[in-house]
A and B are shown apart, each in its own frame.
Chain A
Protein backbone atom coordinates (compact mmCIF):
# COMPACT_ATOMS: atom_id res chain seq x y z
CA UNK A 1 0.00 0.00 0.00
CA UNK A 2 1.35 3.40 -0.97
CA UNK A 3 1.33 6.01 1.74
CA UNK A 4 -0.16 9.17 0.36
CA UNK A 5 1.81 11.85 2.10
CA UNK A 6 1.08 14.91 0.00
CA UNK A 7 -2.59 14.31 -0.59
CA UNK A 8 -3.74 16.43 2.32
CA UNK A 9 -6.29 15.35 4.90
CA UNK A 10 -8.20 12.12 4.36
CA UNK A 11 -11.33 13.77 5.72
CA UNK A 12 -12.02 17.48 5.65
CA UNK A 13 -15.15 19.04 7.13
CA UNK A 14 -15.91 22.75 7.02
CA UNK A 15 -18.94 24.56 8.39
CA UNK A 16 -21.14 21.47 8.30
CA UNK A 17 -24.75 22.13 9.35
CA UNK A 18 -27.74 19.84 9.48
CA UNK A 19 -31.23 20.20 10.90
CA UNK A 20 -34.03 17.68 11.26
CA UNK A 21 -37.13 19.85 11.07
CA UNK A 22 -36.93 22.01 14.24
CA UNK A 23 -33.94 20.22 15.72
CA UNK A 24 -30.54 21.64 14.85
CA UNK A 25 -28.30 18.58 14.96
CA UNK A 26 -25.10 20.18 13.63
CA UNK A 27 -24.36 23.91 14.01
CA UNK A 28 -21.16 24.38 12.04
CA UNK A 29 -18.69 21.55 12.44
CA UNK A 30 -15.06 21.83 11.29
CA UNK A 31 -12.32 19.24 11.51
CA UNK A 32 -9.61 17.48 9.50
CA UNK A 33 -8.42 13.90 9.78
CA UNK A 34 -4.91 13.06 8.61
CA UNK A 35 -4.37 10.00 6.42
CA UNK A 36 -3.65 6.81 8.33
CA UNK A 37 -4.70 8.20 11.69
CA UNK A 38 -7.47 7.30 14.11
CA UNK A 39 -9.78 10.18 14.89
CA UNK A 40 -12.37 9.89 17.63
CA UNK A 41 -15.54 11.93 17.79
CA UNK A 42 -16.51 11.91 21.42
CA UNK A 43 -19.92 12.96 22.56
CA UNK A 44 -23.01 11.96 24.48
CA UNK A 45 -26.15 10.60 22.86
CA UNK A 46 -27.73 13.13 20.54
CA UNK A 47 -24.56 15.20 20.18
CA UNK A 48 -24.66 14.71 16.39
CA UNK A 49 -21.99 12.03 15.94
CA UNK A 50 -24.10 9.71 13.81
CA UNK A 51 -25.29 12.62 11.68
CA UNK A 52 -21.69 13.50 10.81
CA UNK A 53 -20.92 9.87 9.93
CA UNK A 54 -24.03 9.61 7.76
CA UNK A 55 -23.19 12.77 5.85
CA UNK A 56 -19.58 11.67 5.30
CA UNK A 57 -20.71 8.24 4.08
CA UNK A 58 -23.17 9.85 1.58
CA UNK A 59 -26.31 8.60 3.35
CA UNK A 60 -27.47 12.11 4.26
CA UNK A 61 -27.01 15.54 2.73
CA UNK A 62 -25.71 18.42 4.81
CA UNK A 63 -27.74 21.65 4.80
CA UNK A 64 -24.62 23.80 4.65
CA UNK A 65 -20.86 23.55 4.59
CA UNK A 66 -18.50 21.33 2.64
CA UNK A 67 -17.04 17.94 3.34
CA UNK A 68 -14.60 15.80 1.43
CA UNK A 69 -13.38 12.27 1.91
CA UNK A 70 -10.20 11.06 0.25
CA UNK A 71 -10.24 14.29 -1.75
CA UNK A 72 -13.78 13.77 -3.11
CA UNK A 73 -16.68 16.05 -2.27
CA UNK A 74 -19.42 14.08 -0.48
CA UNK A 75 -22.22 15.99 -2.18
CA UNK A 76 -21.02 16.16 -5.77
CA UNK A 77 -18.75 13.10 -6.04
CA UNK A 78 -20.74 10.64 -3.95
CA UNK A 79 -19.85 7.73 -6.21
CA UNK A 80 -16.10 8.31 -5.76
CA UNK A 81 -16.58 8.73 -2.02
CA UNK A 82 -18.36 5.37 -1.84
CA UNK A 83 -15.43 3.77 -3.66
CA UNK A 84 -13.08 5.13 -1.00
CA UNK A 85 -14.97 4.37 2.20
CA UNK A 86 -16.56 1.75 4.30
CA UNK A 87 -19.22 2.29 6.93
CA UNK A 88 -19.74 0.24 10.05
CA UNK A 89 -22.94 1.60 11.48
CA UNK A 90 -24.16 1.77 15.04
CA UNK A 91 -25.77 -1.65 14.90
CA UNK A 92 -23.83 -4.53 13.38
CA UNK A 93 -25.05 -4.48 9.79
CA UNK A 94 -24.66 -8.17 9.12
CA UNK A 95 -27.09 -10.60 7.56
CA UNK A 96 -28.29 -12.88 10.32
CA UNK A 97 -29.66 -15.56 8.03
CA UNK A 98 -26.47 -15.94 6.01
CA UNK A 99 -23.33 -17.53 7.42
CA UNK A 100 -20.33 -15.39 8.31
CA UNK A 101 -18.53 -16.51 5.19
CA UNK A 102 -21.55 -15.80 2.96
CA UNK A 103 -21.73 -12.28 4.38
CA UNK A 104 -18.11 -11.66 3.41
CA UNK A 105 -18.53 -13.20 -0.04
CA UNK A 106 -21.59 -11.01 -0.66
CA UNK A 107 -19.71 -7.82 0.15
CA UNK A 108 -16.71 -8.91 -1.96
CA UNK A 109 -19.06 -9.53 -4.90
CA UNK A 110 -20.73 -6.17 -4.41
CA UNK A 111 -17.30 -4.53 -4.47
CA UNK A 112 -16.70 -6.35 -7.77
CA UNK A 113 -13.54 -8.10 -6.59
CA UNK A 114 -11.92 -11.18 -8.07
CA UNK A 115 -12.17 -14.40 -6.11
CA UNK A 116 -14.58 -13.47 -3.29
CA UNK A 117 -14.16 -16.89 -1.66
CA UNK A 118 -10.44 -16.42 -0.95
CA UNK A 119 -11.01 -12.91 0.35
CA UNK A 120 -13.68 -14.25 2.70
CA UNK A 121 -11.47 -17.04 4.00
CA UNK A 122 -8.54 -14.65 4.59
CA UNK A 123 -10.69 -12.31 6.62
CA UNK A 124 -12.28 -15.11 8.62
CA UNK A 125 -8.77 -16.14 9.61
CA UNK A 126 -7.67 -12.61 10.42
CA UNK A 127 -10.66 -12.02 12.69
CA UNK A 128 -10.55 -15.42 14.41
CA UNK A 129 -13.84 -16.49 12.85
CA UNK A 130 -12.68 -19.44 10.74
CA UNK A 131 -14.41 -22.02 12.97
CA UNK A 132 -17.64 -20.03 12.97
CA UNK A 133 -17.48 -19.17 9.26
CA UNK A 134 -20.03 -21.73 8.13
CA UNK A 135 -22.48 -20.98 10.94
CA UNK A 136 -25.39 -18.62 10.60
CA UNK A 137 -24.65 -15.20 12.04
CA UNK A 138 -27.78 -15.46 14.19
CA UNK A 139 -25.79 -17.84 16.41
CA UNK A 140 -22.85 -15.41 16.90
CA UNK A 141 -22.06 -13.51 20.10
CA UNK A 142 -22.10 -9.70 20.09
CA UNK A 143 -18.32 -9.50 19.82
CA UNK A 144 -18.20 -11.99 16.95
CA UNK A 145 -20.88 -10.05 15.09
CA UNK A 146 -18.98 -6.81 15.46
CA UNK A 147 -15.78 -8.49 14.31
CA UNK A 148 -17.57 -9.83 11.25
CA UNK A 149 -19.07 -6.40 10.69
CA UNK A 150 -15.62 -4.80 10.74
CA UNK A 151 -14.20 -7.59 8.55
CA UNK A 152 -16.94 -6.81 6.00
CA UNK A 153 -15.87 -3.18 6.09
CA UNK A 154 -12.28 -4.05 5.19
CA UNK A 155 -13.11 -5.81 1.95
CA UNK A 156 -11.65 -3.95 -0.99
CA UNK A 157 -9.19 -2.09 1.28
CA UNK A 158 -11.11 1.18 1.56
CA UNK A 159 -8.83 4.10 2.44
CA UNK A 160 -11.25 5.51 5.00
CA UNK A 161 -13.36 3.59 7.50
CA UNK A 162 -16.18 5.00 9.60
CA UNK A 163 -16.99 3.19 12.80
CA UNK A 164 -20.11 4.52 14.48
CA UNK A 165 -20.06 3.53 18.17
CA UNK A 166 -18.32 0.24 17.43
CA UNK A 167 -18.47 -1.07 21.00
CA UNK A 168 -21.84 0.11 22.24
CA UNK A 169 -23.71 -2.85 23.68
CA UNK A 170 -20.69 -5.16 23.78
CA UNK A 171 -19.41 -6.99 26.84
CA UNK A 172 -15.86 -6.19 28.05
CA UNK A 173 -14.31 -9.01 26.04
CA UNK A 174 -16.12 -7.97 22.89
CA UNK A 175 -14.86 -4.44 23.44
CA UNK A 176 -11.25 -5.55 23.66
CA UNK A 177 -11.67 -7.66 20.52
CA UNK A 178 -12.95 -4.67 18.60
CA UNK A 179 -10.21 -2.41 19.91
CA UNK A 180 -7.60 -4.87 18.69
CA UNK A 181 -9.24 -4.96 15.27
CA UNK A 182 -9.26 -1.15 15.04
CA UNK A 183 -5.62 -0.83 16.07
CA UNK A 184 -4.69 -3.38 13.45
CA UNK A 185 -6.54 -1.36 10.82
CA UNK A 186 -4.67 1.82 11.53
CA UNK A 187 -1.46 -0.19 11.49
CA UNK A 188 -2.21 -1.00 7.85
CA UNK A 189 -2.47 2.69 6.94
CA UNK A 190 -6.27 2.96 6.91
CA UNK A 191 -7.78 6.20 8.14
CA UNK A 192 -10.33 5.55 10.84
CA UNK A 193 -13.01 7.91 12.07
CA UNK A 194 -14.76 6.46 15.05
CA UNK A 195 -17.50 7.85 17.22
CA UNK A 196 -17.88 6.85 20.81
CA UNK A 197 -19.48 7.90 24.04
CA UNK A 198 -16.86 6.05 26.09
CA UNK A 199 -13.97 8.22 27.19
CA UNK A 200 -11.61 5.29 27.74
CA UNK A 201 -12.27 4.09 24.21
CA UNK A 202 -11.13 7.39 22.72
CA UNK A 203 -8.15 7.37 25.07
CA UNK A 204 -7.20 3.81 24.07
CA UNK A 205 -7.50 4.17 20.33
CA UNK A 206 -7.39 7.67 18.99
CA UNK A 207 -4.50 9.79 17.73
CA UNK A 208 -6.75 12.83 17.91
CA UNK A 209 -9.95 13.38 19.81
CA UNK A 210 -12.69 15.90 19.09
CA UNK A 211 -15.41 16.52 21.62
CA UNK A 212 -18.76 17.16 20.01
CA UNK A 213 -21.35 18.89 22.13
CA UNK A 214 -24.77 20.14 21.00
CA UNK A 215 -23.79 20.10 17.34
CA UNK A 216 -20.43 21.86 17.68
CA UNK A 217 -16.89 20.67 18.19
CA UNK A 218 -15.75 22.33 21.38
CA UNK A 219 -12.29 20.77 21.69
CA UNK A 220 -10.03 19.07 19.17
CA UNK A 221 -6.54 17.76 19.90
CA UNK A 222 -4.33 14.88 20.93
CA UNK A 223 -4.87 13.25 24.29
CA UNK A 224 -1.86 15.13 25.71
CA UNK A 225 -3.23 18.42 24.43
CA UNK A 226 -6.62 17.73 25.92
CA UNK A 227 -5.07 16.87 29.26
CA UNK A 228 -3.19 20.18 29.29
CA UNK A 229 -6.53 21.99 29.25
CA UNK A 230 -6.90 21.09 32.89
CA UNK A 231 -4.69 22.29 35.73
CA UNK A 232 -1.43 20.29 36.07
CA UNK A 233 -1.68 16.91 37.72
CA UNK A 234 -1.34 16.74 41.47
CA UNK A 235 0.31 13.78 43.17
CA UNK A 236 -2.13 12.09 45.49
CA UNK A 237 -1.96 8.79 47.27
CA UNK A 238 -4.85 6.60 46.14
CA UNK A 239 -5.14 2.95 46.99
CA UNK A 240 -5.40 1.08 43.68
CA UNK A 241 -8.34 -1.26 43.95
CA UNK A 242 -9.02 -3.56 41.02
CA UNK A 243 -12.11 -2.46 39.12
CA UNK A 244 -14.86 -4.96 38.61
CA UNK A 245 -13.80 -5.08 34.96
CA UNK A 246 -10.25 -6.10 35.98
CA UNK A 247 -11.70 -8.83 38.19
CA UNK A 248 -14.07 -10.02 35.50
CA UNK A 249 -11.39 -10.20 32.83
CA UNK A 250 -8.88 -11.84 35.16
CA UNK A 251 -11.33 -14.55 36.11
CA UNK A 252 -12.69 -15.16 32.66
CA UNK A 253 -9.07 -15.05 31.53
CA UNK A 254 -9.83 -13.97 28.04
CA UNK A 255 -8.47 -11.47 25.63
CA UNK A 256 -10.30 -11.95 22.44
CA UNK A 257 -11.13 -15.53 21.71
CA UNK A 258 -14.39 -17.17 22.55
CA UNK A 259 -13.45 -19.97 24.83
CA UNK A 260 -15.99 -22.56 25.69
CA UNK A 261 -13.85 -24.01 28.43
CA UNK A 262 -15.44 -22.76 31.62
CA UNK A 263 -13.21 -22.47 34.64
CA UNK A 264 -15.56 -22.56 37.52
CA UNK A 265 -14.23 -20.62 40.43
CA UNK A 266 -16.04 -19.74 43.53
CA UNK A 267 -14.97 -17.03 45.84
CA UNK A 268 -15.53 -17.54 49.52
CA UNK A 269 -15.04 -20.17 52.15
CA UNK A 270 -13.25 -23.35 51.25
CA UNK A 271 -14.09 -26.28 53.46
Chain B
Protein backbone atom coordinates (compact mmCIF):
# COMPACT_ATOMS: atom_id res chain seq x y z
CA UNK B 1 0.00 0.00 0.00
CA UNK B 2 2.78 2.43 0.87
CA UNK B 3 4.75 1.64 -2.28
CA UNK B 4 2.94 4.38 -4.14
CA UNK B 5 2.90 6.88 -1.29
CA UNK B 6 5.28 9.36 -2.97
CA UNK B 7 3.75 9.05 -6.46
CA UNK B 8 0.24 9.45 -5.10
CA UNK B 9 1.16 12.34 -2.84
CA UNK B 10 2.93 14.08 -5.72
CA UNK B 11 -0.06 13.64 -8.05
CA UNK B 12 -2.53 14.89 -5.44
CA UNK B 13 -0.31 17.77 -4.33
CA UNK B 14 -0.04 18.83 -7.98
CA UNK B 15 -3.82 18.87 -8.08
CA UNK B 16 -4.31 21.06 -5.03
CA UNK B 17 -1.47 23.39 -6.00
CA UNK B 18 -3.37 24.00 -9.24
CA UNK B 19 -6.35 25.00 -7.13
CA UNK B 20 -4.19 27.67 -5.56
CA UNK B 21 -2.56 28.96 -8.73
CA UNK B 22 -6.02 29.18 -10.29
CA UNK B 23 -7.52 31.11 -7.41
CA UNK B 24 -4.69 33.39 -6.39
CA UNK B 25 -7.20 35.39 -4.37
CA UNK B 26 -6.78 32.91 -1.52
CA UNK B 27 -3.08 33.76 -1.23
CA UNK B 28 -3.83 37.47 -1.56
CA UNK B 29 -6.59 37.31 1.05
CA UNK B 30 -4.25 35.43 3.35
CA UNK B 31 -1.62 38.14 3.00
CA UNK B 32 -3.93 41.18 2.99
CA UNK B 33 -5.24 40.91 6.57
CA UNK B 34 -1.79 40.71 8.20
CA UNK B 35 -0.50 43.48 5.93
CA UNK B 36 -3.45 45.71 6.88
CA UNK B 37 -2.76 45.00 10.55
CA UNK B 38 0.87 45.81 10.06
CA UNK B 39 0.02 49.14 8.41
CA UNK B 40 -2.49 49.95 11.15
CA UNK B 41 -0.15 49.14 14.00
CA UNK B 42 2.93 50.77 12.53
CA UNK B 43 1.36 53.98 11.20
CA UNK B 44 -1.62 54.46 13.55
CA UNK B 45 -0.94 52.86 16.95
CA UNK B 46 2.79 52.42 16.66
CA UNK B 47 3.66 56.00 17.58
CA UNK B 48 1.97 55.56 20.95
CA UNK B 49 3.39 52.11 21.70
CA UNK B 50 6.63 51.95 23.60
CA UNK B 51 8.06 48.64 22.48
CA UNK B 52 11.55 49.40 23.65
CA UNK B 53 12.72 48.91 20.08
CA UNK B 54 13.90 51.70 17.79
CA UNK B 55 11.76 50.52 14.88
CA UNK B 56 8.22 49.31 15.60
CA UNK B 57 7.97 47.41 12.29
CA UNK B 58 11.07 45.44 13.33
CA UNK B 59 9.36 44.68 16.62
CA UNK B 60 6.04 43.80 15.01
CA UNK B 61 6.98 41.55 12.07
CA UNK B 62 7.35 38.23 13.95
CA UNK B 63 3.81 38.50 15.33
CA UNK B 64 2.45 39.49 11.92
CA UNK B 65 4.06 36.37 10.42
CA UNK B 66 2.29 34.23 13.03
CA UNK B 67 -1.04 35.89 12.13
CA UNK B 68 -0.34 35.22 8.44
CA UNK B 69 0.04 31.50 9.10
CA UNK B 70 -3.00 31.39 11.38
CA UNK B 71 -5.21 32.93 8.70
CA UNK B 72 -3.62 30.93 5.89
CA UNK B 73 -4.38 27.52 7.35
CA UNK B 74 -8.12 28.26 7.47
CA UNK B 75 -8.04 27.82 3.68
CA UNK B 76 -6.58 24.36 4.15
CA UNK B 77 -9.53 23.41 6.30
CA UNK B 78 -11.83 24.97 3.72
CA UNK B 79 -10.30 23.11 0.75
CA UNK B 80 -10.40 19.81 2.61
CA UNK B 81 -14.02 20.46 3.55
CA UNK B 82 -14.90 21.07 -0.11
CA UNK B 83 -13.26 17.77 -1.11
CA UNK B 84 -15.26 15.95 1.56
CA UNK B 85 -18.52 17.50 0.41
CA UNK B 86 -17.98 17.19 -3.34
CA UNK B 87 -17.55 13.43 -3.32
CA UNK B 88 -14.06 13.54 -4.82
CA UNK B 89 -12.72 12.48 -1.43
CA UNK B 90 -14.80 9.28 -1.66
CA UNK B 91 -13.58 8.72 -5.19
CA UNK B 92 -9.98 8.86 -3.95
CA UNK B 93 -10.80 6.61 -0.99
CA UNK B 94 -12.29 3.95 -3.25
CA UNK B 95 -9.16 3.90 -5.42
CA UNK B 96 -6.05 1.80 -4.84
CA UNK B 97 -3.93 4.69 -3.57
CA UNK B 98 -1.89 5.21 -0.42
CA UNK B 99 -4.60 6.37 1.96
CA UNK B 100 -2.73 9.08 3.82
CA UNK B 101 -1.65 10.70 0.53
CA UNK B 102 -4.97 12.52 0.39
CA UNK B 103 -4.17 14.38 3.63
CA UNK B 104 -0.46 14.87 2.94
CA UNK B 105 -1.28 16.53 -0.38
CA UNK B 106 -3.40 19.13 1.43
CA UNK B 107 -0.73 19.63 4.09
CA UNK B 108 2.08 20.16 1.57
CA UNK B 109 -0.10 22.53 -0.45
CA UNK B 110 -0.82 24.48 2.72
CA UNK B 111 2.91 24.73 3.36
CA UNK B 112 3.62 26.10 -0.12
CA UNK B 113 0.71 28.56 -0.02
CA UNK B 114 1.70 29.85 3.42
CA UNK B 115 5.34 30.25 2.44
CA UNK B 116 4.28 32.39 -0.54
CA UNK B 117 2.05 34.53 1.72
CA UNK B 118 4.88 34.89 4.25
CA UNK B 119 7.30 36.06 1.56
CA UNK B 120 4.75 38.65 0.39
CA UNK B 121 4.28 39.92 3.96
CA UNK B 122 8.05 40.14 4.55
CA UNK B 123 8.52 42.08 1.29
CA UNK B 124 5.84 44.59 2.33
CA UNK B 125 7.53 44.89 5.73
CA UNK B 126 10.83 45.66 3.97
CA UNK B 127 9.06 48.40 2.01
CA UNK B 128 7.79 49.77 5.32
CA UNK B 129 11.32 49.96 6.67
CA UNK B 130 11.92 46.52 8.17
CA UNK B 131 15.64 45.83 8.32
CA UNK B 132 17.57 42.93 9.78
CA UNK B 133 21.29 42.29 9.94
CA UNK B 134 20.55 38.55 9.86
CA UNK B 135 22.59 36.39 7.51
CA UNK B 136 21.55 33.39 5.42
CA UNK B 137 21.86 30.89 8.27
CA UNK B 138 19.69 32.99 10.57
CA UNK B 139 17.05 33.37 7.84
CA UNK B 140 17.11 29.59 7.41
CA UNK B 141 16.51 29.23 11.13
CA UNK B 142 13.60 31.67 10.88
CA UNK B 143 12.21 29.73 7.90
CA UNK B 144 12.61 26.47 9.83
CA UNK B 145 10.58 27.73 12.79
CA UNK B 146 7.89 29.15 10.50
CA UNK B 147 7.66 25.88 8.52
CA UNK B 148 7.39 23.85 11.70
CA UNK B 149 4.68 26.18 13.04
CA UNK B 150 2.80 26.02 9.71
CA UNK B 151 2.92 22.21 9.72
CA UNK B 152 1.67 22.10 13.32
CA UNK B 153 -1.26 24.44 12.62
CA UNK B 154 -2.04 22.77 9.29
CA UNK B 155 -2.46 19.37 10.91
CA UNK B 156 -4.70 21.12 13.42
CA UNK B 157 -6.70 22.55 10.49
CA UNK B 158 -7.14 19.07 9.02
CA UNK B 159 -9.42 18.12 11.93
CA UNK B 160 -12.19 20.72 11.30
CA UNK B 161 -11.67 20.20 7.56
CA UNK B 162 -12.63 16.56 7.97
CA UNK B 163 -15.40 16.99 10.51
CA UNK B 164 -17.08 20.34 9.82
CA UNK B 165 -20.71 20.39 8.78
CA UNK B 166 -20.57 23.78 7.04
CA UNK B 167 -17.91 25.76 5.20
CA UNK B 168 -18.08 28.50 7.85
CA UNK B 169 -17.48 25.92 10.56
CA UNK B 170 -14.43 24.63 8.73
CA UNK B 171 -12.77 28.04 8.80
CA UNK B 172 -14.04 29.33 12.15
CA UNK B 173 -11.48 27.51 14.29
CA UNK B 174 -8.74 29.81 13.02
CA UNK B 175 -10.21 33.00 14.56
CA UNK B 176 -8.95 32.25 18.07
CA UNK B 177 -5.56 31.43 16.58
CA UNK B 178 -5.47 34.79 14.80
CA UNK B 179 -6.19 36.56 18.08
CA UNK B 180 -3.71 34.61 20.17
CA UNK B 181 -0.82 36.91 19.12
CA UNK B 182 -2.66 39.91 20.62
CA UNK B 183 -2.26 38.38 24.07
CA UNK B 184 1.44 37.77 23.61
CA UNK B 185 4.62 39.73 23.18
CA UNK B 186 3.79 40.22 19.48
CA UNK B 187 2.43 43.79 19.69
CA UNK B 188 3.51 45.08 23.09
CA UNK B 189 5.99 43.83 25.69
CA UNK B 190 4.27 41.46 28.14
CA UNK B 191 5.56 43.27 31.24
CA UNK B 192 3.04 46.09 30.62
CA UNK B 193 0.09 43.66 30.95
CA UNK B 194 -1.91 43.09 34.12
CA UNK B 195 -1.40 40.03 36.38
CA UNK B 196 -3.31 37.02 35.02
CA UNK B 197 -3.21 38.25 31.40
CA UNK B 198 0.53 38.62 31.68
CA UNK B 199 0.89 35.14 33.14
CA UNK B 200 -1.11 33.75 30.21
CA UNK B 201 0.80 35.82 27.65
CA UNK B 202 4.18 34.79 28.93
CA UNK B 203 3.37 31.10 28.93
CA UNK B 204 1.51 30.64 25.67
CA UNK B 205 3.28 29.37 22.54
CA UNK B 206 3.07 32.57 20.48
CA UNK B 207 5.23 34.57 22.90
CA UNK B 208 8.14 32.14 22.82
CA UNK B 209 7.94 31.80 19.04
CA UNK B 210 7.70 35.57 18.54
CA UNK B 211 10.61 36.18 20.94
CA UNK B 212 12.75 33.57 19.22
CA UNK B 213 12.04 35.07 15.78
CA UNK B 214 12.65 38.62 17.05
CA UNK B 215 15.97 37.66 18.60
CA UNK B 216 17.00 35.93 15.38
CA UNK B 217 16.05 38.99 13.32
CA UNK B 218 17.94 41.37 15.61
CA UNK B 219 20.89 38.98 16.00
CA UNK B 220 20.41 38.82 19.77
CA UNK B 221 21.19 35.63 21.67
CA UNK B 222 18.09 33.43 21.34
CA UNK B 223 18.42 32.03 24.86
CA UNK B 224 15.90 29.47 26.02
CA UNK B 225 13.06 30.99 23.98
CA UNK B 226 14.00 29.10 20.85
CA UNK B 227 13.92 25.74 22.65
CA UNK B 228 10.57 26.54 24.23
CA UNK B 229 9.34 27.67 20.81
CA UNK B 230 10.54 24.47 19.15
CA UNK B 231 9.05 22.37 21.94
CA UNK B 232 5.67 24.07 21.45
CA UNK B 233 5.79 23.60 17.66
CA UNK B 234 6.79 19.95 17.85
CA UNK B 235 4.32 19.29 20.67
CA UNK B 236 1.40 20.87 18.79
CA UNK B 237 2.49 19.07 15.64
CA UNK B 238 2.50 15.65 17.29
CA UNK B 239 -0.83 16.13 19.08
CA UNK B 240 -2.53 17.65 16.02
CA UNK B 241 -1.16 14.96 13.68
CA UNK B 242 -2.30 12.19 16.00
CA UNK B 243 -5.82 13.58 16.37
CA UNK B 244 -6.06 14.29 12.64
CA UNK B 245 -5.06 10.72 11.79
CA UNK B 246 -7.45 9.24 14.34
CA UNK B 247 -10.27 11.37 12.90
CA UNK B 248 -9.30 10.33 9.38
CA UNK B 249 -9.20 6.62 10.22
CA UNK B 250 -12.57 6.83 11.92
CA UNK B 251 -14.03 8.45 8.81
CA UNK B 252 -12.51 6.07 6.33
CA UNK B 253 -12.67 2.66 7.98
Seen from chain A, the residues whose Cβ lies within 8 Å of a Cβ on chain B are 54, 57-59, 61, 79, 82-83, 85-87, 89-98, 102, 106-107, 109-112, 136, 152
Known A-B contacts A61-B253, A92-B87, A98-B15; A110 and B94 likewise in contact (beta carbons under 8 Å): no
Q: What is the minimal beta-carbon distance from B11 to any residue of chain A, in angstroms?
A: 4
Cross-chain contact A93 with B22 (CB below 8 angstroms): no
Residues of B within 8 A of A112 (CB): 4, 7
Residues of A within 8 A of B90 (CB): 54, 59, 87, 89, 93
Q: Is the interface of B mostly helix, strand, loop or mixed?
A: helix
Cross-chain contact B86 with A91 (CB below 8 angstroms): yes
Cross-chain contact B96 with A89 (CB below 8 angstroms): no
User: Smallest CB-CB separation from A155: which chain B residue?
Assistant: B95
> Can you list 23 A-B contacts with CB-CB less than 8 angstroms, sorted by A residue number?
A79-B1, A82-B95, A83-B96, A85-B94, A86-B95, A87-B91, A87-B94, A89-B90, A89-B91, A91-B86, A91-B87, A93-B90, A93-B91, A95-B88, A97-B19, A97-B22, A102-B15, A102-B18, A106-B12, A106-B14, A109-B7, A110-B8, A110-B95
Residues of A within 8 A of B1 (CB): 79
Residues of B within 8 A of A61 (CB): 253
Contact of A82 among B7, B19, B23, B96 (CB under 8 A): B96
Cross-chain contact B96 with A57 (CB below 8 angstroms): no
Tell me which residues from 53 to 105 in chain B have a Cβ below 8 Å from any Cβ of chain A: 86-88, 90-97
User: Smallest CB-CB separation from A153: which chain B residue?
Assistant: B91
The interface on chain B, measured as residues whose beta carbon lies within 8 A of the other chain's beta carbons, has a size of 25
User: Does B252 count as interface, using CB distance less than 8 angstroms?
Assistant: yes
Whole-angstrom CA separation of A85 from B87 in the bound complex? 16
Known A-B contacts A57-B94, A59-B94, A93-B88; A110 and B12 likewise in contact (beta carbons under 8 Å): yes
Whole-angstrom CA separation of A17 from B153 in the bound complex? 40
Residues of A within 8 A of B94 (CB): 57-59, 82, 85-87
Whole-angstrom CA separation of A98 from B15 in the bound complex? 8
Residues of B within 8 A of A96 (CB): 86
Tell me which residues from 120 to 169 in chain B have a Cβ below 8 Å from any Cβ of chain A: none
Interface string of B17-32 (1 = CB under 8 A from A): 0110011000000000
Q: What is the minimal beta-carbon distance from A137 to any residue of chain B, in angstroms?
A: 11
- 6 nearest A-B residue pairs (beta carbon): A93-B87, A93-B91, A87-B94, A109-B11, A82-B96, A57-B94
Q: A85-B94, A93-B91 are in contact. List 6 more A-B contacts (CB 8 A).
A: A91-B86, A91-B87, A92-B87, A93-B86, A97-B23, A112-B4
User: Smallest CB-CB separation from B21: which chain A residue?
Assistant: A97
Residues of B within 8 A of A93 (CB): 86-88, 90-91
Tell me which residues from 1 to 55 in chain B have a Cβ below 8 Å from any Cβ of chain A: 1, 4, 7-8, 11-12, 14-15, 18-19, 22-23
Whole-angstrom CA separation of A91 from B17 in the bound complex? 24
Residues of A within 8 A of B93 (CB): 58-59
User: Smallest CB-CB separation from B3: which chain A residue?
Assistant: A112
Residues of B within 8 A of A59 (CB): 90, 93-94, 252
Residues of A within 8 A of B11 (CB): 106, 109-110
Whole-angstrom CA separation of A92 from B85 in the bound complex? 11
Residues of A within 8 A of B22 (CB): 97, 136
Cross-chain contact B92 with A110 (CB below 8 angstroms): yes
Q: What is the minimal beta-carbon distance from A88 to any residue of chain B, in angstroms?
A: 8
Cross-chain contact A98 with B18 (CB below 8 angstroms): yes
User: Smallest CB-CB separation from B11: which chain A residue?
Assistant: A109
Q: What is the minimal beta-carbon distance from A134 to any residue of chain B, in angstroms?
A: 13
Residues of B within 8 A of A111 (CB): 95-96
Whole-angstrom CA separation of A83 from B97 in the bound complex? 9
Residues of A within 8 A of B18 (CB): 97-98, 102
Known A-B contacts A79-B1, A97-B19; A152 and B91 likewise in contact (beta carbons under 8 Å): yes
Residues of A within 8 A of B96 (CB): 79, 82-83, 111
Whole-angstrom CA separation of A79 from B98 in the bound complex? 10
Whole-angstrom CA separation of A219 from B97 in the bound complex? 37
